[in-house]
Amino acid sequence: MVTKHRLDRDVIAMRAAKELKPGDYANLGLGLPSLCALFIPEGVIFHSENGALGYGRLLLEDEIDMADFHYHDAEGRFFLPAPGMCIFDVNTSFAIIRSGKLTSIMGALQVSEKGDLANWSTGDGARGGTIGGGMDLAMGSKRVIVTMEHITREGKPRIVKECSYPLTAKECVNLIITDLAVIEVTPRWLLLKEIAPGWTVDDVQALTEPELIASADLKEMEL
Amino acid sequence: MISNKICADFDEAISDIPDGAIIGIDSWAVSATPQNLIAAIKRKGIKDLTIVTHCLIPMIFGEEQAIMVSALLPQMKKVIAAVVGIQHLGAGTFVEEYERNGLEVELTTMGTLTSRLYAGVHGIGGFYNPVGVGTILEKGKEKRVIDGREYLFEKPIRLDYALIAAHKADTMGNLVYKGIFRGDHPMMTMAANFTIAEVDEIVEAGAINAENIITQGIFVDRIIQIPQDGLGTTQKLKELIRILGDIEPARKLMFKERATTGR
């Protein structure tokens, strides 16, 4: 019998990375989504809001001497220029973001059954202010993949009927990848496609507010 | 060729900016930031400013090391920005004191901000924007359905002044930028009535290939070369990286751990 574990953040990232293939253009959000970069196949072309496409690998802690403020991503992580990289202004960068050509992997606080995304503020009085480019990415991407933990630290579902946190964008999420499941947002319902090893449909449903429809080809999460 | 755009002194370069001016200052923390012009505005104490910037984040260095847009908070009446604070450091809390004292903070998205500048550049009176529908950004904006899709009305932004950080200027005022320092500077230069650019180097007209010029001299009114002891020089920027490298949370944010593989 398989023991029932929540997948750790690296494994969520690994699963999300499988959604990208060489030749895809991708933007990775802060936090968990940025971990996906570790597992994404060679040939995926990365975009950064501050004006770079196709940049090289990120610098490591012991490569500080190689860092140059002229080459870092939107999160402030230094990268190496790479052959084929292009540099542009913010206006062009958001033309790319809003063009429907990027696949966007984003973090989330809540996702609703209609695919509404809340990921920038808990709206609890602590002044939330980092809207950044998230609303643009959520609206403009070809595909929005959300990576997040299935429930909050307090055990509340993050997949909800209606988001209680301030929205990033309405009806924008296509796929939700959590530490328990892979769920596709369809126009009619949430389709449960994959489950973490050892978990059942009922287990996942119990931690999800809206009803999940189990896919006909429901399977164990594959990495 | 004699250029009347070259200015030798930062205080002189900003001397005619009046109180209450609307100023575009692009910035990504210390990157792409016209630090010496900001320092001059701070010295002069020009007040009641409306600042248009993508990122307003707290000062992370001493002012002799690096200066950021947030150094002007005491002189601001209003700020229009997409990022206010750093999420995991308690987003935006550093502006609360200023808000209590009357600072107006207008939050927007990066894409919307640059689109509003674009509208300002082209004399477009506003536009219907799909981004922000269903969010707090709806507040106070006209909503309209076009071909079955909802949009919010956004107004253009025109700037009285744009402060620019570029890599090279030629004596005609044509500019090129280096790496991600290009930022939103090209749009800001065009959206402004008057543009002042600080640059690493001023070169003769013709020294930059015409095809490579990013910002055209017609949009640039004043250029000033950063002196060796100025802010934002290659040497100073290198020092900042070393300083940040010694601060663990900053290092962890900016560099990957050796243990990880791949990108």
User: Mind listing the pLDDT tens digit for each residue in B212-226?
Assistant: 999 999 999 999 999
Instruction: Look up A211 and say whether it is catalytic.
Output: no
Q: HSE-up of B210 (CA within 13 Å, CB side)?
A: 1
State the DSSP code for A157.
Answer: B
Residue of chain A minimizing CA distance to B108: A131
Conformational region of residue B147, where left means phi above 0, alpha means psi within -120 to 50, and beta covers everything else: left
Residue B248: per-residue pLDDT:
84
**Architecture (CATH level 2) of domain B10-232:** 3-Layer(aba) Sandwich (3.40)
For A211, left (φ over 0), alpha (ψ -120 to 50), or beta?
A: beta
Q: How far is CA A203 from CA A50, A200, B24, B248, in A?
A: 42, 5, 53, 40
* Res. B263 pLDDT band, cuts 50 70 90: very low
> Residue A204's pLDDT is what?
98
Q: Which residues of A touch B82 (CB under 8 A)?
A: 131-133
Decide if B52 contacts B24 (C-beta within 8 A).
yes
**B49: part of which helix (H) or strand (E)?**
strand B49-52
Sequence letter at residue B188: M
Residues of A in contact with B117 (CB under 8 A): 91
DSSP E strands in A94-180: the ranges are 103-107, 110-112, 117-118, 143-147, 159-160, 175-177
Asked if A89 and B109 come within 8 Å (Cβ–Cβ), the reply is: no
Query: Average of pLDDT values for B168-173?
Result: 98
DSSP reduced 3-state for B214: coil
Name the DSSP letter for residue A37.
G
Closest to A104 in 3D by CA, of A185, A19, A184, A38: A19
Would you say residue B88 has pLDDT above 80?
A: no
pLDDT tier for residue A100 given thresholds of 50, 70 and 90: very high
- Residue spans per domain, chain A: 9-32+99-220
Query: A 116-135 residues with CB below 8 A of B?
Result: 116, 121, 126-135
Give the dihedral sign, CA A53/A29/B51/B33: negative
Q: Is some CB atom of chain B closer than 8 A to the CB atom of A42?
A: no
Q: What is the pLDDT of residues A172-188, one digit of tens each?
A: 999 999 999 999 999 99
CATH topology of domain A9-32+99-220: Glutaconate Coenzyme A-transferase (3.40.1080)
Interval B223-232: pLDDT, tens: 999 999 999 9
Ordered by start, the domain boundaries in chain B are 10-232, 233-263
Q: Chain B residues with CB inside 8 Å of A70's CB?
A: 31, 178-181
Asked if residues B8 and B224 have their Cβ atoms less than 8 Å apart, the reply is yes
Determine the average pLDDT of the residues in B35-44.
98
A139 touching B, CB under 8 A? yes
